[in-house]
């Protein structure tokens, strides 16, 4: 059975609670539905050496690839400190999402008031960088 958008947000909210964010106190959870309907989750994992912390989206993409998923059909993201805000993915994560996206991929964000915003990759990362496979060069 296909995962509903509500279920995807529920999973993102659940994994957000497991985030390791002692420095920023900004917890983020992400849930990806892949091309076969499987769901992969990830949260941000900070580090005392700040720049090496991982974003929730990167963690969820890592889980998807490790479990054999290929394409992001939808990625639901929930983040915030005390209050949940609309957490738009950082620039690096937009590029990470683009790597495993197609023209139908949706990035869906929900704030604490329950407002949902949805974007395509082209909207969040216009004119994005991509390499052609070596066979097409
Ligand atoms: N963060 C994410 O996990 N995803 C985003 O899209 C934006 C930011 C994390 C990184 C850091 O642990 C914390 O949120 C504050 O920037």
Q: Is 44 exposed, middle or buried (0-12, 13-18, 19+ CB in 10 A)?
A: buried
- pLDDT tens digits, one per residue of 61-119: 999 999 999 999 999 999 999 999 999 999 999 999 999 999 999 999 999 999 999 99
Structural domains of the chain in order of their starting residue, each with its CATH number: 5-136 (3.40.140.10)
What's the 55 CA to ligand 1 centre distance in angstroms? 5
Pocket test for ligand 1, best of 44, 86, 91, 111 (most atoms within 8 A of CB): 44
Rounded-to-integer distance, Cα 19 and Cα 45, Å: 6
Strands (E), the chain: 27-34, 39-43, 72-80, 84-85, 106-110, 116-119
CA separation for the pair 99, 97 (Å, rounded)? 5
- Among the atoms of ligand 1, which is closest to the Cα of residue 23? 12
| The pTM of the whole model exceeds 0.85 | yes
């Amino acid at each position: 059975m296909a995962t509903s958008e509500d279920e995807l947000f529920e999973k993102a909210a659940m994994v957000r609670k497991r985030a390791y964010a002692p420095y920023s106190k900004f917890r983020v959870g992400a849930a990806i539905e892949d091309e076969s309907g499987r769901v992969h989750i990830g949260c941000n994992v900070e580090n005392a050496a700040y720049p090496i912390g991982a974003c929730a989206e990167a963690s969820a993409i890592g889980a998807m690839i490790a479990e054999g998923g290929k394409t992001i059909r939808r990625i639901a993201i929930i983040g915030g400190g005390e209050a949940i805000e609309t957490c738009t993915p950082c620039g690096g994560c937009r590029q990470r999402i683009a790597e495993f996206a197609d023209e139908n991929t949706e990035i869906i964000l929900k704030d604490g008031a329950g407002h949902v915003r949805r974007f395509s990759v082209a909207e969040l990362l216009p004119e994005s960088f991509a390499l052609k496979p070596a066979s097409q060069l």
